[in-house]
Structure 1
């Protein structure tokens, strides 16, 4: 099966337009009236409608939310009701989940923080998400310029190349994020000693001789 280049270009433009206009709700826009689980799931479905939904693997379920509470990634509901602070945590968790593990999320989000601190963190978070969305649009457009401008004239394999590039960039970004997350509360001297030991082991056989292995 081959790709319809014009259809792919259409999808890329649609995704770009979506991201340009996409904004997460501000703190004051989040409901604070006390919602039950089914209401929370419906609300998150509206806020996070860009996340692909598979019939047998919905991104937001009661089980996943209960697990986040059990793992103390977010505060527990009050008498089975979820308020603004809970919705804010869930929005951040489900958006971060697209690029890191639950362990990484636990390190990034404020744990057992007072509401004002969560409010400030969430406000900064949604601003960063919008900035990254615009940066991502620029990078995507640059990488797929020919396909977007003249889809019919795009070279054979252009779509597969772009998909591969997107996957590899995503992978490198996640690897770097994981490396940096592991530095939290790390013993600086111990990290440097481990790097020194790694360097002294010699060159990695599968990379160029002027490149040393990165641990």
Structure 2
């Protein structure tokens, strides 16, 4: 198996859109896409994978996962919510993402979205640190007859952990729905 530390570094898990990355002017859709591609392109599985497309953004807007866009321009607040959608879409359904972000979208003018998003970035950075430590520890603990079997066991372990986290997140979304 490829050296685990190298593999974890290739994932670019620390890549995040920060408030400082966003210009102080409203952006058109093509500029939004460029910004996201520039920020997250190294995090994709392969070169063909798109980070964000016009269709995705339009679907987010139509699905009410994003508060209304004015004059085809996206504010800093729009970009922060789109970034949250980008993070959530890898695990949650569109319906669950909408439920999760409904409160933010409904109260966007009342919420200090910069502060909220900065809190998220701090949590995400801690998560990356803990994740790398956890995966390294799991790999050290896994012993099998061959390297290939160890590799498969690590995959199974990671998928199992992922499923447990996803199921827990879904239950938390369900709690938002019941409120």
Relative to the length of structure 1, the TM-score reads: 0.70
Partner of 1:94: 86
Secondary structure of 1:183's partner? helix
Unaligned segments of structure 1, at least 5 residues:
148-152, 188-215
Q: How far, CA to CA, are the matches of 1:98 and 1:106 in structure 2?
A: 14
Preserved contact between residue 74 and residue 111 of structure 1 (Cα < 8 Å): yes
Counterpart of 2:131? Answer: 136
Answer yes or no: is the 8 Å Cα contact 2:99–2:177 preserved in 1. no
For the 8 Å contact 1:35–1:83, the answer to whether it is kept is: yes
d(CA) in 1 for partners of 2:127, 2:71 = 37
Supply the RMSD in Å over aligned alpha carbons.
2.6
- 1:61 is aligned to 53
Identify the match of residue 125 of structure 1 among 109, 113, 120.
120
Task: Give the number of aligned pairs.
Answer: 173
Change (3 A) 1:184 1:25: closer
Which has more radius of gyration? 1
Matches within 5 A, 1:114-193: 114=109, 116-145=111-140, 155-184=147-176, 186=178
Displacement of 1:62 after TM fit?
0.5
Instruction: State the Cα distance separating 1:53 from its structure 2 match.
Output: 4.5
**TM-score, reference length from structure 2:** 0.82
Please state which structure has a larger fraction of its residues in helix. Answer: 2
SS in 1 for 2:112: helix
